[in-house]
Every structure is written in C-alpha cells, then in structure tokens.
Amino acid sequence: MNDPNVQIIEVTQAAVKVANGSAYSPRSLPKPSSADITVIDLQSTQPVVPSVASRQQTISASPVMRLPPQTKTKRYRIGVGDVVSLTGRSKPIAISGAEDQRRSNSYTVQDDGAIALPDVGTIKVAGLTIQDAHSAVFQIMAANQITDAFALDISEFNSQQIIIGCAVKTPTRLPVTFAPNTLSDAMAAAGGIVTEDERSTSIKIYRLGELYQLPLTDYLQTSDLQRLPLMSGDSVYVHVGYDLAAAQAYFSEQIARTELSIALESQRADQITAQLSVLDLQQRTEQTAIQIRIATDSLQRDYVYFTGEANKQTRFPLPFEHHASLADALFDSGGLPTTTANVSQIYILRKHSTGSAIAAYKFDFSNAANLVLATEFQLRPNDVIFAAEQPITKWHRVIQQITPSLITTGVTATN
C-alpha cells in the first residue's frame, strides 16, 4: 500500500484504544409500537358491589345452637365446568385433534353436560361418578377402535362449591372435590375468623333454604363441630346475631351479594386476560414483521466488507444494539484461507470522518497473541477488511498465467 492518502497503523493495545474512540452508536432494533403499552387500566375494571343493609339483631343472649341434620357422604359427581383429564399409564393417550387439547388431554364439561373428544365425539359425563364416566368414555373409544389403556380424572373442580363470607379474613369459594369438606376446612380457606367478641359471634350455615347456627365459643372448643361435614351449595357466614328468623333474609341478601362480587371479579379477570391476549398478539405480529424486514434486507443496516484473500467476498452486517469486533466478523464469515492469505498482513481500512485520508490498521496474526487484539478492535460502518496474498500465492498465480502460453508456444514450434 503505497498510496500517500493511506496511513498504515501497526495495531497495538494503544492503537485499538484510539480506533475504538471514534464516535459510533449501533443502530437500535425497531421496537413494536405496542412495546410501550406496559400498564393495563385496572381501575376501569374495578367491580362495584352494592352494599347490604344491616339486619343485625340486638344482643340479648348467647347464640342458640341449631345444627344441620347429619348427611351421608356422597360420591362426587361430575358437573358443568369441571375439567376432565385423560392420561395413559405413563403419558397422555394418543387422540388426535386440536393442538391445545392434544397437549393437555383436558376437556371442559360444557353446558350440555358433555365433553368433546377429537376424532371420537361428544360424551355426556355430567351427573356421573368418576367410575361411571370412565366406563362411558371407554365404551365410545372402543367403538371407535381406540384401545389404549387410560385413566380418567378431574383436574379442575369448578361445578360445585361452598361460599364462605362475612367476618372472615377473605370471603371466598371452597370447591367441592373428592375429599369431604368440613367446617374447619371452610374457615381455613377463608383465612380464619375475624372478630373481637367470640361470645357474641356465631357461624351460620345456609343450606337448602334452611338456616343453622353454631356459637363460635362452642365451635372453638368442640372438635366434632369443627369436623362438621359441609355439602355442595352450602353458604357459611360468620356473623353476630341470634334471631334466626330475622337473620334468614339478611343471609339471603348476603349470599346474593357474595355471588355478585365473585362474578364481577371473574368478569374483571376475563377483561384483563382479553387485554393481555390482544397486546400479546399485537406484539408478536409486529415482531414477526420486523424479522421479515431483516430477512429480506429491507431494514436499514450498517455493514463492513471483506475483500482480498477472503474465503468469500462478502459483507458482514453490524449487529443491532451492541458493537461487533474484528474477531466476530472473521469467525462469522468463516475466517481466512491460510493457504493463500498472508495472515501477517490483515488490514482494516477506515476513512476518517473529515478529509480524504484513510487509516489502514495492520494486524499481524502470525503472532497468535494478536488475536486478542482482534476481539477488542471494534468495527465501524463501511470498514473494509482486506487480507493480503502470500508471496507464494502471487508466484503460483503468475505460473498459472505463464504456463498456458509456454504450452501454446511449444505446440506452435513443433508444428
């Protein structure tokens, strides 16, 4: 390189520091317009529950004990909203169909009481026990020549519940499952009883139109009362009041209020889920569009260029968001052909921001220690990576050009 406009600079640690000092900010990857939407307006979806008029009675005596009649424990029967799962001995059974259902093998009992199995059809399971539902599914699968052994279970209990409210930490619903629910289970699910006067507090159970009452002091002292079994549809409230007849209307109103509150919370959760789904779809769509622009080279990029004794005369795109080193470019492009390239004369040609002078940073990779400098040397847009040819390569190419002429001359002389 004898061009007076080219300044050859032997690359050292100090030269790398100077070269890296030139101002350059890597391009930023375009962000989806939806990326700035990070906060969902939760205030607009807060449920408003009407207040209930107080019907508490004047305290005149200890609460009267009135226990519900003893009930026989019944086997759980599947209901609308329950999620039924089918699994094989070690993995989900092979039933084709919708991708999501094939992955989970879970099926929700619909309003008509049936589940829909892909390639099999609908099977009514509402009102059946687990054993009866297994038999029903087995028969229809056998009719469709599906003979894989499977187990049927309930992965989500949604159809039956017990409502707990009033003077508890967290009013809630306790799902009815295979295991019988007791009064202590209900109190634990609601986070415990909150009262300042145990003597004037009672636990009321609203069941099938009848109201029953347990004084809190008796409940706390009697393990049998704590193990009192509850039924699906029971409403359990911790309250102060003794007149059962007057309290009947109050608790009917409380039941309606609790159910409305839970329904509004569910609606609010559905709204938030819908907003998140729309936002996720928008972001994924925009990210896909950006990826397509990158793949089709329609997005503005910065490049450096390979020439000379390179494996391939090509260009290397500078990455978004961060700097690339000479080592990054060499290894991503397949390195240099050591049989033809002179590794002691690798140049980075860079034009200064002002004037026409060109800096040629010279790397000598015959000393392997200089490869460390390649990992530190930052590339800039429009840099040219030039690899000089070895002297033997130049001589070999001259021979290749001369040899055909000698052969032609010899043939002519012979003729």
Write out pLDDT tens, residues 320-357: 888 899 888 888 877 777 677 788 888 898 887 666 67
H-type helices in 190-243, by residue range?
Answer: 216-221, 223-226
Could you tell me which residues come within 8 angstroms of residue 234 by beta carbon, excluding any fewer than 6 positions away? Answer: 162, 163, 205, 206, 207
- Residue 136 tokens read as 């029903």
Residue 398 is predicted with a pLDDT of 52
Q: Which residues of 337-361 are buried (b: 16+ CB within 10 A; e: fewer)?
A: beebbbbebbbbbbeeeeeeebbbb
Residue 377 is predicted with a pLDDT of 92
For residue 397, which phi and psi values (nearest 5 degrees)?
-70, -35
Cβ atoms of 157 and 84 closer than 8 Å = no
Q: What is the largest CA-CA distance in the chain?
A: 140
Strand 106-108 relative to strand 83-87: parallel, antiparallel, unpaired? Answer: antiparallel
* pLDDT class of 243 with cuts at 50, 70, 90: low
How does DSSP classify residue 344? E
- State how far the alpha carbon of 186 is from the alpha carbons of 22, 79, 189, 376, in Å: 70, 21, 5, 65
Cβ atoms of 308 and 341 closer than 8 Å = yes
* pLDDT class of 114 with cuts at 50, 70, 90: very high
Residue 191 is predicted with a pLDDT of 93
Residue 364 is predicted with a pLDDT of 87
pLDDT above 70: residue 33: no
Nearest Cα residue to 183 out of 157, 209, 158, 212: 212
Cβ atoms of 100 and 126 closer than 8 Å = no
